[in-house]
Structure 1
Amino acid sequence: MKKEDLRIVYMGTPEFAVETLQALLDNGYNIVAVVTQPDKPVGRHGSVLQPSAVKQLAVSKGIPVLQPEKMKDPEFVQALRGYNANLQIVVAFRMLPEVVWDMPEYGTFNVHAALLPQYRGAAPINWAVINGETRTGVTTFFLDKDIDTGKVIMQLPFDILETYNVEDVYDGLMHLGAEICIKTLDKIIEADGHPEAIPQCRLMTSGEALLPAPKIFKETCRIDWTKSEKQIYDFIRGLSPYPGAWTTLVSPQGKETVLKIFRAERKGMEHGKCCFGNTGRLIKGKCLEVTIADGSTLILHDVQLAGKKRMTASDFMNGIRDIEDYRVI
């Protein structure tokens, strides 16, 4: 098989998927159509429709774009079938029904931002950082009827440094995702459309627990100050810069305000000092610290009060009198 023999439909929506689509185009692959989410209303009154990042690139390259509301819509399925694709590639898109993923001759493969079978689900990058992982990666696998359970074609690892937040890992995996997609296509071409793919059960060690990566909601992002310093630190960087870990700031008068924390630093427990029994107390000094249940303190660097812009902890301290009389819960 030659590269020219492949007719590819590409499915994706956000910036993460743009890198891979651009790599496919740069490498001369024949993208016959792009499937992406419908344009989203933006602006104060929702009167302006914003196309997805993937659509913007596709339109600039003259590639036909399909934007179904429902993936099982008969008109969409008929239109998709009309492109006569023999392979589909999915990057950062939604779950596909069998009538769609089973349509091409050579199947549909997904680029997933984790080392499957770990972190199946919608938010693998966030959860890997939240859980303090030191390594993640990208996986290509053929879609089947369940979520992220198909046979694995390839995997590439990525090291997570302790200073990385989600944005750092996102950027790294975005570039690695483009790389693994091209390498996976090389394997597909070499194997005449049918590369070796490994069942995920063969990638697991005996007794290994599978960690999920479910969608993240607002309440998911609330900081639990009773956890350890390391757990809280990882939680903050695992949600920074978006959607942002948050806590409730309580004034001496009992007024509560949402406070997001985007960047923090581990300080630990100073010799001879501890803060047991004072969880959530703010300490003002050269920097702003918050006490944790395990007796340590966490240094805060970048925060945001509800209704305000993101600011440094220094500006935050300067804007509130008697800050040491405040608590976070």
Structure 2
Amino acid sequence: MTKDDLRIVFMGTPEFAVATLRALVEGGYNVVAVVTQPDKPVGRHGSVLQPSAVKQYACSLGLPVLQPVKMKDPGFVEQLRSFRANLQVVVAFRMLPEVVWDMPEYGTFNVHAALLPQYRGAAPINWAVINGETRTGVTTFFLDHDIDTGRVIMREPFDIKPEYDAGDVYDGLMHLGAGVCLRTLEAIVAAGGHPEALPQDGLQQPGEVLHAAPKIFKETCLIDWRKTAAGVRNFVRGLSPHPGAWTTLVTADGKRSVMKVYSTDAEIVKGQGEPGQLFRCGRKLAVTTAGGEAVVVDQMQVAGKKRMASADFLNGMKDIDGCRVE
């Protein structure tokens, strides 16, 4: 078997998936069609339709693009079947029904941004950083009936440096994932379409606690200042640059506004008062956390204003006495 024998349907939506699709195309693989999400309404009134990053790249190459609203739609299923793909590759897409993932002869494999069985779910990058992990990685695995539980083909690690936020890890795994996908395809070709793949149960170490990676919502991003300073810093890192950790700024006169925190200094300092109290630390803003510690805010944004350094925020404040976040 050679790679010319493969007819691949690629499924993905965001920029993260484009790197892998590009690697397939530039690697000489036969991508017969691309499946992505429907165009998304944007703009003040939602009157403009924005195509996904994957669609934009696929259209630039003249690849056929399918955009089903429902993956079980009979019309879509028949259209997908008409491309006679014998393998499907999924990167940052959505849950597939069995009628779709079981369609190709050689199955459907996913490129997941974590070392499965750790961090199954929609937001593995964010949760790995939030939880203070120092290592994550990329896993390729065959899809089955449950989410992110299929047989593992390949895993490769990635170190999370202390200064990295979720955006840095995203960029690193985006490129690592493209490479792992190519090596997975090479293994599939070498094995005649059926490479060795291991059940995830055998990859869990004795005593290892598995962490989930559920979807991130607005309420997920609310900072709990009663956590340790290290915990707050990791929480901020894990949600930066998107969607951003947030809190409510309460001024001395009781005015309330949403404040996003994008980064904090690595150094933990001594706090003042109760968790959530604001104070000056040199030229920067600091917030007291649990255990008498505090984090020093580097980049932030108050609702209605631009993102700024906390030093610039303080320059615009006459006094922060009596101000807090909650």
Q: Specify the TM-score bucket, using the shorter chain as the normaliser.
A: over 0.9
Q: Which amino acid aligns with 1:5?
A: D
Q: TM-score, normalised by structure 2?
A: 0.98
Residues 287 and 314 of structure 1 are in contact (CA less than 8 Å); yes or no, is this contact kept in structure 2? yes
2:286 equivalent in structure 1: 289
Residues 163 and 266 of structure 2 are in contact (CA less than 8 Å); yes or no, is this contact kept in structure 1? no
Q: Which amino acid aligns with 2:90?
A: V
2: distance between equivalents of 1:279 and 1:17? 40
Q: Which amino acid aligns with 1:141?
A: F
Q: Which amino acid aligns with 1:291?
A: T
Could you tell me how far 1:321 is from its partner in structure 2?
A: 1.7
Residues 8 and 89 of structure 1 are in contact (CA less than 8 Å); yes or no, is this contact kept in structure 2? yes
Matched ranges for 1:1-329 at <5 A: 1-270=1-270, 275=272, 277-284=273-280, 285-329=282-326
Residues 267 and 296 of structure 1 are in contact (CA less than 8 Å); yes or no, is this contact kept in structure 2? no
Residues 269 and 296 of structure 2 are in contact (CA less than 8 Å); yes or no, is this contact kept in structure 1? no
2: distance between equivalents of 1:235 and 1:269? 17
1: distance between equivalents of 2:163 and 2:157? 18
1: distance between equivalents of 2:87 and 2:250? 55
2: distance between equivalents of 1:54 and 1:124? 20
Residues 229 and 266 of structure 1 are in contact (CA less than 8 Å); yes or no, is this contact kept in structure 2? no
- Specify every segment of 5 or more residues in structure 1 that has no aligned partner in the other structure, as ranges: none
2: distance between equivalents of 1:226 and 1:143? 40
Q: Match of 2:122, SS?
A: coil
Residues 252 and 320 of structure 2 are in contact (CA less than 8 Å); yes or no, is this contact kept in structure 1? no
2: distance between equivalents of 1:216 and 1:171? 19
1: distance between equivalents of 2:81 and 2:9? 10
Residues 249 and 257 of structure 2 are in contact (CA less than 8 Å); yes or no, is this contact kept in structure 1? yes
Could you tell me how far 1:267 is from its partner in structure 2?
A: 3.0
Residues 119 and 212 of structure 2 are in contact (CA less than 8 Å); yes or no, is this contact kept in structure 1? yes
1: distance between equivalents of 2:303 and 2:216? 20
Post-superposition Cα deviations, 1:71-108, rounded to whole Å, max 9, x if no partner, equal 00000000000000000000000000000000000000
2: distance between equivalents of 1:32 and 1:118? 32
Could you tell me how far 1:153 is from its partner in structure 2?
A: 0.1
Q: TM-score, normalised by structure 1?
A: 0.97
2: distance between equivalents of 1:221 and 1:74? 38
Could you tell me how far 1:265 is from its partner in structure 2?
A: 1.2
Post-superposition Cα deviations, 1:108-141, rounded to whole Å, max 9, x if no partner, equal 0000000000000000000000000000000000
Residues 143 and 149 of structure 1 are in contact (CA less than 8 Å); yes or no, is this contact kept in structure 2? yes
Could you tell me how far 1:269 is from its partner in structure 2?
A: 4.3
Q: Which amino acid aligns with 1:251?
A: T
1: distance between equivalents of 2:40 and 2:295? 39
Residues 151 and 198 of structure 1 are in contact (CA less than 8 Å); yes or no, is this contact kept in structure 2? yes
Post-superposition Cα deviations, 1:19-53, rounded to whole Å, max 9, x if no partner, equal 00000011000000000000111112211111110
Report the identity percentage. Answer: 67
2: distance between equivalents of 1:314 and 1:71? 49
2: distance between equivalents of 1:80 and 1:110? 18
Q: Which amino acid aligns with 1:13?
A: T
Could you tell me how far 1:292 is from its partner in structure 2?
A: 1.4
Q: Match of 2:185, SS?
A: helix
Aligned length: 325
Residues 252 and 321 of structure 2 are in contact (CA less than 8 Å); yes or no, is this contact kept in structure 1? no
- Specify every segment of 5 or more residues in structure 2 that has no aligned partner in the other structure, as ranges: none
